[in-house]
Amino acid sequence: MQSLGKRYGRTWAVRDLSFEVRPGKVTGFLGPNGAGKSTTMRSIVGLDRPTRGGALIDGTRYAKLSAPLREVGTLLDATSAHRSRRAVDHLRTVAATHGFSRARIDEVLELTGLESAARLKAGKFSLGMSQRLGIAVALLGDPHTLILDEPVNGLDPEGVTWIRGLLGSLAAEGRTVFLSSHLLSELALVADHVVVIGRGELIADASIAELTSHAGRTLEEAYIDLTRDAVEYHGGKAGKDHAGGADGVRS
């Protein structure tokens, strides 16, 4: 990320944002409501056009990638599959854009635990199953980089354990894993590094160990302290919406 800026009218959603997401680690992306997390993720993959600066993936802008799904897997909207389309047909449609084999479709269905639901229509899926389908799409091209917006949202306890293991194993293979989450306790179990933004600007870029080392703080406590300090620096008041609680960390 190189001095990313995105303005809507007179309002800057993201301002001069720079950080690096490194391979071989799970990097968590945190920030209060309206912090600019979704705008940042959308800008990385060209769904939002930056006003200035931008993002590179292995040195290349997303729009310049010749086969983007082989390089980057994304989950930005778990409910994007057409409600009347069967899960397997949704995967086949995406696979056709890059010539992925049917064998690969079967592999990601198995990997995400959707074999038995492959012929169900997406409109019948729970949020957790929709998340699994979105992750299956992200994994289709066996990409080196994964960008996931709230992938744990809606998963049951078994699903949370499953995705924790999946993300850890992908990072262990040397892949780049970048995800946002409002479940701080869960993120603390899977992430190695955290990027925190507020009001479109960088607040922290540090390892989990660095953030939690002071006085034995949990990740949630560290996050609340960081966002409160940032709000007070800008002359605001650190209420619930800005400095903690489940409502304070959604994008």
> What are 170-208's pLDDT values in tens digits?
999 999 999 998 888 888 999 999 999 998 999 999 999
User: Which carries the bigger pLDDT value, residue 8 or residue 227?
Assistant: 8
Task: Using pLDDT thresholds of 50, 70 and 90, give the confidence band for residue 138.
Answer: very high
The pLDDT assigned to 245 comes to 40
**Residues listed for the chain:** 251
Alpha-carbon distance of 156 to 221, in angstroms, equals 25
The pLDDT assigned to 33 comes to 81
pTM metric for this prediction: 0.89
Beta strands in the chain (DSSP E): 2-8, 11-17, 25-30, 52-54, 72-75, 145-149, 176-180, 193-198, 201-207
Q: How many Cα neighbours within 13 Å face the side chain of 55?
A: 26
Q: Name the region of 200 (left: φ>0; alpha: ψ -120 to 50; beta: rest).
A: left
pLDDT digits (tens, 9 = 90+) for 31-86: 988 899 999 999 999 999 999 999 999 999 999 999 999 999 999 999 999 999 99
Q: Is the pLDDT of residue 143 over 50?
A: yes
- Structural domains in the chain, CATH included, are 1-45+176-251 (3.40.50.300)
